[in-house]
Structures are given as C-alpha cells and as structure tokens.
Amino acid sequence: MKPIKPTKIQSNKINNTNHKLTSAEMGKLWVTYTGNTMSTCVLRYYLQHIEDKDIKVVIENALNLSQSIVENIKEIFIRDNFPIPIGFTKEDVNLGAPRLFSDEFYLHYLNYTSKAGMSIYSIAIPIMSRKDVRELFINTLQSTVKLVSDVNDILEAKGFLVRPPSIPTPKKIDFVKQQNYLNGFFGNVRPLHALEVAHLYDNLENNVTSKALLIGFSQVAKTEKVKKFLLRGKEITSKHIKSCSQQLHKDNLPSPPLLDDLVSTSTFSPFSDKLMLWHKIDMFSMKIRSDANGMSLNGRRDLGGMYTKFLMDIGLYVEDGANIMIDQGWMEQPPEAVDRDELSGGIKGIE
C-alpha cells in the first residue's frame, strides 16, 4: 500500500467575522477543540509503540489532522477574544510508558473515535452561521471522512476488516401488511431488517473497541474511584455486547469478534486519570447518539426496549463519571448563558 499523505486542514480566511460567535458556534468549537487536544495526546503516545509502517502512516495522518483542527480553532478563538480552553496537554500523557495496545488496535480505535468526530462535525455544519466557522467544520468533516476511508482500506489490506453480516437481496418490492411486523416480545417475530442489522452491528463494533480500551485503561488507572468507574464501564459494555450479539444470533447472523487480546499486560499508565475518565465519558456520550439512532430506525418492540435500557445504563454511567470529574476538579466548564436571576440579586421573581 502506498503511504498516505498527511491530511491537513487549511486555515480559513476571515469571512463575516464582524459577527460574534453564536452559542452554537461556541459550543461546537469548544468541544471540538477539547476533544482534539485529547486525541493529540493519545496519538502521540501510539506513535511511540508501533511497528507496522502502513499503520504508522495513518496514525501520523490522524495526529496531523487533530493538531490542525486545534490550531485552526485556536486562531478563531484568538481573533474573537475567546478564552482558549485548557483541554489536555503534555502533562496528560507519558510518552515513555510501555506499550498498552497492539498495532491492530490502533486501527479499530481510529474507526471508533472518528465516528464520534463525524457526528459532532456533521451536526455542527447546518447550525453554523459564520462562514469561517462553517467552512472549518466542512473541511474537518471531509478530512475525517478521508481518514476513516484510509483506516478501512488498511484494515482490509491487513486482513483485520470484519464485514457486517450478509442478508439476501430482495426479489421484489413489498409492503408491510400486518401490525405484527412490530412484534418483538410475543407472537410471530419477523427476522431483522437491514437497518436493524446495520445498527446492531455498528453498536457491537463500537462496544468491542470500547471494551478493549476500558480493559487497558482500568489496568493502568491510579485513582481508585477512576479504576472502579472504568471497570463498571467494562461490565456495562460486556452486557450490551451480549444483548446485541444475541439479537443477531437469533437470525443466524454473526457478530464481530472481541478485541480484548489486543491489550497488553502493562500496568504502567501512559495517560492521566483525568484524560482516561474524560475519554470514556465522551465516548459513552457517543453511544447515546448511536443507540438513539438505532432505536429511531428500528421496527420491533423488543429492540426498542433493548435500546431504551442501554440509554438508561449509559445516562447514569455518564452522570456518575461527571460527578467524579467535578469532585477531582477536572471538569472544565463549557460556555454558558447568563444567569439573569443571579444578576438581579438572586430574586427568582414573583409567580
């Protein structure tokens, strides 16, 4: 495979910057900046322990992309006198730590985290009012799509790509004729349709990567609270993997293999507990979007119930993680609206 050229986002020229950043622009820029400072730390560490030359090139591309995103957003923040978030710095990564994951895992990791990035960027584009900010997110999304394409090409070339299950091609167009099409718990339950299979598989693909990451993080976490939180996340993820796999197996469809064996036995942490905790809160938040998408395109009551349970599990888990971040003084506050009650002296008004 030919080396992949590093993908860089070109700095945007100043366009209609007379307008102040809107709340939507502030929020999306803030979370994108913070997330990519984290990615920069993780990818710099991955590059310290890598043997496969093709995988090294794609990791370098991903690092260049994250660094470009951070620099482009910083330019906007400086122009708009917006305080630059701390995010994550060299203090949150130990480049001298031993290897924690195999080369193959790096590819699955990029596939997993790029989905979260694309979700943020694609949702941002329609609600960005300023042309410079909108173009930044368009360029960022296009570059991330290119990265994901490169990652999948290498997964396939290396024999690591596991394809979603195959189902028969329809012989004709048909229409649903009875309400029992929606059955799931009782009665005549139909086989899974293509969109249900797609989202079950996507959920599994995310969760097997998440579980391996949680195994590695829980091995090296220093704070007892953080370690217990990560182990709890592993248990939740394992249950979700089992539930989704069972749904596929009922229709004799395969599920993707676990990646647990791609984690080393190291107990020496390459990352701060703050970074690992924030990373998993962020990625579990992505699962909320993923599960909600799966539920919205589902047509069976049992799957709807399963996704509802998933969302409850994840919502409680993310909240508990946020409480740990707050207790430790690690949670950086996003931009927020004005508290008019506080400005008026705390009087809530007359009802």
For residue range 25-41, list pLDDT tens digits in order.
999 999 999 999 999 99
pLDDT of residue 8: 47
pLDDT of residue 2: 47
Tokens of 298: 């589902």
Mean pLDDT of 317-339: 93
**Residue 95 carries which side chain, given as an amino acid letter?**
L
Give the C-alpha separation, 36 to 31, whole Å: 8
Beta pairing partners, 133 = none
In the chain the domains, ranked by start, together with CATH numbers, are 23-157 (1.20.1260.10), 180-328 (1.20.1260.10)
Residue 17 confidence class, pLDDT cut points 50, 70, 90: low
Largest CA-CA distance found in the chain, in angstroms, rounded: 70
Mean pLDDT of 309-322: 96
In the chain, which residue ranges form alpha helices assigned H by DSSP? Answer: 23-46, 53-79, 103-124, 131-157, 194-220, 224-250, 273-296, 301-328, 340-343
pLDDT of residue 9: 46
Mean pLDDT of 226-255: 97
Q: What is the pLDDT of residues 137-156, one digit of tens each?
A: 999 999 999 999 999 999 99
pLDDT of residue 349: 53
Give the C-alpha separation, 78 to 90, whole Å: 21
Assessment of whether the complete model's pTM goes beyond 0.85:
yes
